[in-house]
Structure 1
């Protein structure tokens, strides 16, 4: 059972979970720090205590006044938060303002105290991001409300560098950046996960572009390729001047730009160069993918027992809104698996300073126990619809349609997903049909719907939009395990779940003696297809890819299988090899671990980088990509280096 789960590339190898961020505890040096002492007679009103300390500091300022006020404000905020008081946001904001003021004034502060200052500021900002919406103060789509001395200040929330629209910023989730993930950068701000809005079934909101189906009969919104509550990465930056909380300046001046301006900015970290520049922002591009996998609660073993992989229909999904100037990178998972199996590969792409600006990731999820050819036809149709999208307001490329970046998409398939990918870059002719039938399709008896379904499944042309296919551990000639007892068990389970098990019975019954024994009128499960003796698999293996498509192979080699030679435990090297491949890379990895192999990841990044030099992958006629990194303006405060969080019980 474990072997079959592994054959699909299950993602059970990673056990890391996103964790809540660390929040420092307020200092306990005086009663106004004692935020747990809610009934203390000497501390009945911590707000009055803070305002008294602020007035004293304004009369007799000292070198440590701002630090002390920042600490006091944070303690007050924590105490108010313990009582579910929305005014906590106002005092977390004050803590940020005075801690920033302390760092500007005291460049020679001892490192230990500077670290404490950074952690208090970070904790206050995390609190606002995490709790501000619940308190009715933070609307991630538009503004943050903070009560200053002169009244309520409405600080605009700016969104910088995103393909998403402002009203897509529904929820902000803050986690500790997972250690060891590629693309992590320490710097200014708080890295977080943003969730888009929930969508009502059948309701298409916030339409960005028009999509025409391949048959031209209808149009729809490109939003259908975006999941409800899609997670994406952002980094939150804030600047709150102490003038917001002083009597000398009105709140509207601080918010309007007449003086030192209060700002809240959500920045797309994928548009900020992680490799250089004077202004570094904190980045953790892996967090949204980790969150999506964690939220899915996908269990490969339970899926295997059910005979499916937790999905009842094929789905093509975008990880971000469609962008005409970025090359689609399409990821197709394997047997009894889901797109999370590509987590490490996607992390590697998003961590690369160049590739993150030139590729957009799409994922295809399908019921691996269903009819393999129907899943391939569904992917073909959905890709045709997706490529028809034209982003509203996007800068159009001044190049012929055949040279558009979307015409040079890259499709990457792991295991069974590699065979699905091959059916997107192949002109079928009648080769596949002749493998199962002795009579031409147009001579069969059957209902128009059955004949049309067979036409879509067996007769097709290579997608003109795909310029490269990368096979990873793909069993082009099958796997010996599919013919053995464990493979037969998996086949029975998959067939038991298949939704279209009786689709072709009437066609077979109406055409006796026409179809091969393997095409018995019920769905040939994916496991059956992977048997080396499958006539359909043999026909597919003998079918070359389109000459317009570049082929690359990444093959695992880990152990020797009896009568099959070197293999990745599941797929023999000989089965994964394609003579037509431009490059073939053999790595020491099992069928499952190959997607986590640093060698395999490096190979894919190299392939994607070389693909950028292929004709039609650049919107500009010169050699420089049109998409550039953001230039972040230097802020008044120095860079806020995120320290290692301290885990405390609060």
Structure 2
């Protein structure tokens, strides 16, 4: 169970019906409200089948009656439980029908007649956005996705919903780094005035006869708001922490295979760093980097579990890096470096937010190599692994030099303080050298622009590139071969003293030589020198970052 800090109370009304003095009378009044709620809810269901415009008003009346039941006998656990269930059923129908009819808008919930609509205002509580940035409120459950193996749900008062956030203006941090669909967790609570002396028929059509909005629709961040106060009753707020993750997965194009075969072809294969929630000052970003023939969706299982941890929610926020995995290995790393530096500079131009000076990178498989390239100084080592003469002596246009130099010559990103390698092939994978790896390498379409640059360099500088690089640009499969000179050069680069390293190694099976392996990366290849911790996980290569053991290790590391 998640420990939550605060709650919010119902606001008193001008006209109040004094509750009955005896508990028996209070419970009898509550039973009457519960009976009304059930009657209104059943009528609303029939009206919904007939697509009636008044369906919303019927569900509204059912929710109000259930709320009034709790107010009448808040000290009765049985009443609170029954009324919470009735309120939840009514709220599901109300918000779903209102969404279908276009009456649930970012500016409010619209009830009443078509000729005299009344707006129920929306109030945000604990959410890191303003109402003006809401694109839509989604009360429907997203479809299941096999990439999410666990669901984090807490029963309670209200209806878990997803808030979709509008894209930011182009050229801004939000516009450039928000994902295609940014979804936030929230719980909707329709907060009514306390019961008044109204006849049932007037309660049903009350929205048509009142001059001011009779309720408020609260959108609550369920990790920062614990419960609702209705009199002395404090029912906990319902929460579905996995709902926004599923909603984002539904709107996320699957690009793992496309990014492997056709890297840098635009659209879904373009490299980009993405926020999975708006940045909140005081939280440390954790950047997740996927591996070969994969995409950022592979991390959602782990992030879903971390988000259910109050410690992670309080101190950290997840970012993901998406990139094409088939080729352009060094350019993709350069784009990540540029993105990290730009974000930190724009979010904290004066360097006052210490959390942005303590970024954490977590890389799976080849993503770990990208993570390492963010925290090392290249010197001349990468270029010397590819060429036989100094870079400055190579003939090339100035524009070409400016394009390729950031990929080969760079300094570490100084605000990264911790890196976690998960099943990372620091010394390559033998699969890359086998027939299967060679066939896979043949399927990769090399980026036309980089291919043209390569061909121009070879034509104008014969013999400058080493034989492995002269014929064609290497694919990432070729890069991951144990005898790759570029991979060997990267292996010998060491992170600076301010970067802490951790290893997570898959050891599900054994090679023919008896060495433990995850079926892709051997134990010795996955081990990086200088790590302060190392964990062996009985898992295959594609499953190691989904294991609960790994997730617990990530949480442990983040608590250091």
Q: Give the TM-score of the pair, scaled to structure 1.
A: 0.73
When the two chains are superposed, the root-mean-square deviation of aligned CA atoms in Å is 3.3
What does the per-residue CA deviation read over 1:300-336, in whole Å, with 9 as the maximum and x for residues that have no partner? 5677677899833101111122233211110100001
Superposed, 1:564-583 pairs within 5 Å as: 565-583=515-533
Does the C-alpha gap of structure 1 residues 133 and 311 become closer, same or farther in structure 2, counting only changes over 3 Å? closer
Does the C-alpha gap of structure 1 residues 273 and 109 become closer, same or farther in structure 2, counting only changes over 3 Å? closer
Find the counterpart in structure 1 of residue 123 from structure 2. Answer: 158
Return 5+ residue gaps in structure 2 as ranges. Answer: 1-27, 228-232
Find the counterpart in structure 1 of residue 63 from structure 2. Answer: 96
Find the counterpart in structure 2 of residue 18 from structure 1. Answer: none
Does the C-alpha gap of structure 1 residues 500 and 84 become closer, same or farther in structure 2, counting only changes over 3 Å? farther
Higher helix share: 2
More off after superposition, 262-271 vs 168-177: 168-177
Q: Tell me which of 198, 203, 218 is aligned to 1:265.
A: 218
Provide the rounded CA distance (Å) in 2 between the counterparts of 1:231 and 1:71. 33
- Where 2:477 maps in the other structure, the secondary structure is helix
Q: Tell me which of 125, 131, 142 is aligned to 2:107.
A: 142
Does the C-alpha gap of structure 1 residues 63 and 461 become closer, same or farther in structure 2, counting only changes over 3 Å? closer
Provide the rounded CA distance (Å) in 1 between the counterparts of 2:141 and 2:467. 56
Provide the rounded CA distance (Å) in 1 between the counterparts of 2:453 and 2:317. 36
What does the per-residue CA deviation read over 1:349-385, in whole Å, with 9 as the maximum and x for residues that have no partner? 2111111111111111011012100110111111111
Q: Contact 1:475–1:575 at 8 Å: present in 2 too?
A: yes
Q: Contact 1:96–1:240 at 8 Å: present in 2 too?
A: no
Superposed, 1:178-189 pairs within 5 Å as: 181=150, 183-189=152-158
Provide the rounded CA distance (Å) in 2 between the counterparts of 1:302 and 1:220. 28
Does the C-alpha gap of structure 1 residues 323 and 117 become closer, same or farther in structure 2, counting only changes over 3 Å? closer
Find the counterpart in structure 1 of residue 181 from structure 2. Answer: 229
Provide the rounded CA distance (Å) in 2 between the counterparts of 1:234 and 1:403. 27
Q: Tell me which of 451, 456, 462 is aligned to 2:406.
A: 456
Find the counterpart in structure 2 of residue 379 from structure 1. Answer: 336
Provide the rounded CA distance (Å) in 2 between the counterparts of 1:244 and 1:170. 38
Superposed, 1:313-324 pairs within 5 Å as: 313-324=270-281
Find the counterpart in structure 1 of residue 35 from structure 2. Answer: 68
Q: Tell me which of 236, 249, 252 is aligned to 1:296.
A: 252
Q: Contact 2:427–2:491 at 8 Å: present in 1 too?
A: yes
1:430 matches 2:377: no
Q: Contact 2:181–2:251 at 8 Å: present in 1 too?
A: no
Find the counterpart in structure 2 of residue 30 from structure 1. Answer: none
Question: Which structure is richer in relative contact order (CA contacts within 8 A, separation 6 or more)?
Answer: 1
Q: Tell me which of 444, 453, 457 is aligned to 2:394.
A: 444
Provide the rounded CA distance (Å) in 1 between the counterparts of 2:313 and 2:264. 33
Q: Contact 1:370–1:498 at 8 Å: present in 2 too?
A: no
Provide the rounded CA distance (Å) in 2 between the counterparts of 1:237 and 1:491. 54
Aligned length: 518
Q: Contact 2:167–2:175 at 8 Å: present in 1 too?
A: no
Provide the rounded CA distance (Å) in 2 between the counterparts of 1:62 and 1:115. 16
Q: Contact 1:193–1:288 at 8 Å: present in 2 too?
A: yes
Give how far 1:220 is off: 3.8
Superposed, 1:428-577 pairs within 5 Å as: 428-495=378-445, 500-520=450-470, 522-563=472-513, 565-577=515-527
What does the per-residue CA deviation read over 1:387-412, in whole Å, with 9 as the maximum and x for residues that have no partner? 12238xxxx9xxx8377210110011
Give how far 1:292 is off: 1.9
Q: Give the TM-score of the pair, scaled to structure 2.
A: 0.84
1:81 matches 2:48: yes
What does the per-residue CA deviation read over 1:513-543, in whole Å, with 9 as the maximum and x for residues that have no partner? 1111121263311111100000000000011
1:338 matches 2:310: no
Return 5+ residue gaps in structure 1 as ranges. Answer: 1-60, 205-218, 611-650
Does the C-alpha gap of structure 1 residues 509 and 299 become closer, same or farther in structure 2, counting only changes over 3 Å? closer
Give how far 1:85 is off: 2.6
